[in-house]
Amino acid sequence: MPELPEVEQVRISLVPHVVGRTITAVQVDVAKMVRHPGVEKFRKNLVGRTITGVGRRGKYLRLELDDGTWLLVHLRMTGALLAVKKELPEPRFTHLVFQLDGPENLYFTDIRKFGVVALMGRDGYQDKGYASLGPEPLDGELTPQYLKEKARGKTAVLKAFLLDQSVIAGLGNIYVDEALFAAGIRPTRRVNRVTRKEWEALTLAIKRVIAQGLAHHGTTFRNYQDADGHMGDNSRYLQVYHRKGLPCLRCGTLLKQIKVSGRGSVYCPHCQNRKEGNRMTVIGLTGGIASGKSTVSAYLKEKGIPVFDADASAWEVEKAGQPCLQQLVEAFGKGILTPEGELDRSHMARLAFHDPRALQQLNAIVHRAVEDRRDRFLADHAGDAVVVLDAPLLLECGWEKKADTVWLVDIDPEQQIQRAMKRSGMTRQEVVDRINRQMPLEEKRKKADTIIDNSGTLEELYQKVEKALRGLSA
């Protein structure tokens, strides 16, 4: 079946042939292909109408008409819309003909007669499939969080979930297989077992394979062609689809084909071999100043769980002799050093927090060094069941992409201010200003998978942490 890239190429190729042309006659040879209204009304309401534009949503085409109605077209398995000069023979397998006032006619050909058309916008008729379409792969709405929310409470296999047009409009067998390979996930994985990092990787993979398909005018194996009769060129760039039994282009392992929800699915047993229950879970732990995040971090350490402390790492990379400190000196001058050659943190703070560009430069240097240490930490602990990335700015820095789940330690705002004043000696306004420099709490709550409320006693906090840990294996 033509998928989004193929249908988009049909749309692009149709525009110069049909836009501005008036329909002078309509021939219907297969009545079942006209979904709405009846054939006679269909003909009558189309004749005399001028095509003003060609749109697309998912795998559907829309031919916009000058009276505000539109012709909805779904090519299904083997359908094609072909613009052919009137003096040439009618294409094989033609079942609908739209005669135009120009030098060409528009032919709907379909070997299997599964394609459908409907005249929309006149009487309130709704095509259920079209009305229920989800966002397209390249829409901003398609995010890892969106997919995770759509999968919440479901246990469907991942391939079937991705083929659901109400979840993502335009994906089909070709591009789902390609996206799953790019993300390193087997098509049989249950959606409730997909991790945050995997949703992240899968979202990027979907966007990438669709963009590739568009760039190469779609994929042709048998029947797909655009309005000019041209074939797509994307088959040369496919990694797994239609390559059953051939060596994986990445690792050399022979590709396998299985049936998933009735669809043939090709995958690499080696590259798509992330097994459930036998992999490290990365907790991203974050929270504002005086929220109790450090208390949670210390408790997890006591339980023997490896913890990467981003704040402690930042202090380490800024010590004398570290490459990071040398980079800071090159950027800001030797005035940031104490007589002993250490970083004068008070001076650096005054310099950075009064100059947004200096703060950005400081963060770029330090964050890069800390991220290198973080990645080494994750590699060193790859055999552990659970590890923690403890970072106050976890969400601000995009570190949630490295985590399977994000825990936010939350606290009543007034309690937070009072604790911070007592702990640091800062004034109320200084505390408020520091809190306001971070991502708003409501936004953090939306991004977190687990919120640990620390407004109660220490014992209550520990109980909530234990509950969150049990949830990792639920």
Q: Which is the catalytic residue, given 2, 144, 187, 392? A: 2
Q: Which is the catalytic residue, given 49, 59, 293, 444? A: 59
Cα dist from 23 to 45, 57, 108, 268, whole Å:
10, 23, 14, 49
In angstroms, rounded to a whole number, what is the distance separating the alpha carbons of residues 329 and 348? Answer: 11
Catalytic (active site) residue 198: no
Instruction: Answer yes or no: are the C-beta atoms of 100 and 52 closer than 8 Å.
Output: no
Closest CA to 162 of 190, 124, 193: 190
C-beta atoms surrounding 227 within 10 Å: 24
C-beta atoms surrounding 407 within 10 Å: 27
Instruction: Answer yes or no: are the C-beta atoms of 428 and 421 closer than 8 Å.
Output: yes
Cis preceding-peptide flag for 37 (omega within 30 of 0): yes
In angstroms, rounded to a whole number, what is the distance separating the alpha carbons of residues 315 and 409? Answer: 23
Catalytic (active site) residue 2: yes
Catalytic (active site) residue 3: yes
- Exposed / middle / buried, residue 225 (Cβ in 10 Å: 0-12, 13-18, 19+): buried
Q: Looking at this protein, which amino acid is placed at residue 225?
A: Q
Q: Which is the catalytic residue, given 76, 150, 263, 373? A: 263
DSSP letters for 266-322: EE-TTTT---TTSS-EEEEEEE-TTSSHHHHHHHHHHTT--EEEHHHHHHHHTSTT-
In angstroms, rounded to a whole number, what is the distance separating the alpha carbons of residues 45 and 36? Answer: 11
DSSP letters for 135-173: --TTSTT--HHHHHHHHTT---BHHHHHH-TTTSTT--H
In angstroms, rounded to a whole number, what is the distance separating the alpha carbons of residues 230 and 4? Answer: 16
Closest CA to 301 of 380, 407, 388: 388
Q: Is the dihedral of CA 59, 65, 68, 70 positive or negative?
A: negative
DSSP SS3 for 257: strand
Catalytic machinery residues:
2-3, 59, 263
